[in-house]
Amino acid sequence: MKTRAAVAFEAQKPLEIVELDLEGPKEGEVLVEIMATGICHTDAYTLDGLDSEGLFPAILGHEGAGIVREVGPGVTSVKPDDHVIPLYTPECRQCKTCLSQKSNLCTSIRATQGKGVMPDGTSRFSYKGETIYHYMGCSTFSNFTVLPEIAVAKIREDAPFDKACYIGCGVTTGVGAVTNTAKVTPGSNVIVFGLGGIGLNVIQGARLVGADKIIGVDINDDKEEWGRRFGMTHFVNPRKIDGDIVQHLVALTDGGGDFTFDCTGNTNVMRQALESAHRGWGESIVIGVAEAGKEIATRPFQLVTGRVWKGTAFGGARGRTDVPKIVDWYMDKKIEIDPMITHTLSLEEINKGFDLMHEGKSIRSVVVY
C-alpha cells in the first residue's frame, strides 16, 4: 500500500513529505493507522545526527497513537479497529528481562530495532525502490506503519488520539521516572533540571505522589510559569544566580534533593543533578539522552558519600501493562496533558514543530494526520 510520511533522507536536513510504499504486516505484526504523533527531543537529536544508532533515510517519530487496520498471521492480542499506542520499549513477556520483573527493557527485538528493521531483518518501507529505515521500532511520522504485536499497547477508545499520543513517550517517561524508577516518597524534595516536554511531566509526577519542594531548573525564564502550572514550588535559572548552581540548590533544600532528575541530555547538567542530591541518600535519575561520544563524570566521593546515580528509559514502564493505566490516569484527570500540547500541526508543517522546540517556544507539538 501507499502511505504519506515525513522522511529524514539525511541528517541535519528538513524532513520531506512524500508518498512511499509500505508492505503489509507479516507474522506477529500489525498495520496501524497513526492518527496523531508528538515530536520529542529525541527525534530532533537523531535528525541532528547526534544519535550513535541514527540511520538514514528513515521515518522518525516514536510518540504516536492510532488504530489497528490489519493484523498478520498469529496475532492474538489485538484486532482491527483496536486503538493502540506504539511502544519503542516493547513488552514480550517472555525474554529474560520481562520475566525478571526487574526492568522494562525488553530485549526480544532490541537488536533489530536499533538497526532500523523489523524483527525478520527487513524494512516494510521503501521509496522509489530504495529501503527506508524504521526508527525506534515505531516510525510514527508515517500515516501508516507496521509494528510487532508486542510493540503496541491497546488503549481505551474514548481517549483522544491528539492527547494520548504524548503517553507514547513524554508523559510516561516523566511521570514513570518518578513513580517507577525513583519511587519518590511523599514529602520528598525533588529537583528537576530541564522544564521541557519531559521535565514538566516529572514535575506533575512529583506533585501526584505528594512531594514537598519541587524545584525546577532551566536556562529559559519562560519555563518558570510552565513549571508552576504543574506543581513546581521554586524556580532557578542557573545563569541568573550568584555562584555555583549546586551550592545554591543544596542551600535551598537544606542539604540537597532527595531525588533529582536530568531532563536536558547535557552531561554537565547530569553532573550537577547528581551533586545536588542529598549526601547519604539522594538519588539522581538520568532521563536526558546525551549525544554520541559524550560521557558523564563526577568525583567518586559523591557516590562514596551515599548519592545514587540511576537512569531510566520510558519511565521504567512496561508498555503493554502500564500504558493503558496511564491513559486511565489522564482520562480520570489524575494527570494533565492538554495544556502541554502547545501546537497542533499538519504533517506538512512538521518541520515547524522542530523549529519551535529548538527555539524553546513549544512544550509539545503534535502532528494530526
Catalytic machinery residues: 40-42, 62-63, 92, 95, 98, 106, 110, 169, 364
Which contiguous run of DSSP H or E holds residue 85?
Answer: strand 83-86
Does position 53 interact with ligand AHE (CB under 6 A)? The reply is yes
The conformation of residue 58, written as its DSSP 8-state character, comes to: B
Does position 249 interact with ligand NAD (CB under 6 A)? The reply is no
Which listed residue (139, 266, 276, 365) binds ligand NAD by CB under 6 A?
A: 266
Spatial separation of the C-alpha atoms in residues 172 and 190, rounded to whole Å: 18
Does position 171 interact with ligand AHE (CB under 6 A)? The reply is no
Residue 194 site contact among ligand AHE, ligand NAD, Zn ion, none (CB < 5 to 8 Å, cut-off depends on kind)? ligand NAD
Q: What is the smallest separation between the CB atom of 44 and Zn ion, expressed in angstroms?
A: 10
Does position 42 interact with Zn ion (CB under 5 A)? The reply is yes
Does position 289 interact with ligand AHE (CB under 6 A)? The reply is yes
Nearer to Zn ion among residue 164 and residue 277 (C-beta): 164
Q: Tell which residue, 167, 157, 156, 154, has the closest CA to residue 77.
A: 154
What does the buried/exposed string (b/e) look like for 145-184 if buried means 16 or more CB atoms within 10 Å of the residue's CB?
bbbbbbbbbbbeeebebbbbbbbbbbbbbbbbbbbbbbeb
Neighbour-count burial of 239, counting CB atoms closer than 10 A to its CB (0-12 exposed, 13-18 middle, 19+ buried): exposed
Residue 53 site contact among ligand NAD, Zn ion, ligand AHE, none (CB < 5 to 8 Å, cut-off depends on kind)? ligand AHE
Which listed residue (3, 37, 89, 108) binds ligand AHE by CB under 6 A?
A: 89
Q: Across the strands, what pairs with 366?
A: 38, 344
Does position 49 interact with ligand NAD (CB under 6 A)? The reply is no
Which contiguous run of DSSP H or E holds residue 33?
Answer: strand 29-38
Q: Tell which residue, 241, 348, 298, 325, has the closest CA to residue 5.
A: 348
Residue 110 site contact among ligand NAD, Zn ion, ligand AHE, none (CB < 5 to 8 Å, cut-off depends on kind)? ligand AHE
Q: Tell which residue, 139, 122, 140, has the closest CA to residue 131.
A: 122
Summarize as ranges the residues that interact with ligand AHE (CB under 6 A).
40, 42, 51-53, 89, 105, 110, 169, 289, 313-314
Summarize as ranges the residues that interact with ligand NAD (CB under 6 A).
40-42, 45, 169, 173, 193-199, 217-220, 223, 238, 263-266, 269, 287-289, 312-314, 357, 360
Summarize as ranges the residues that interact with Zn ion (CB under 5 A).
40, 42, 169
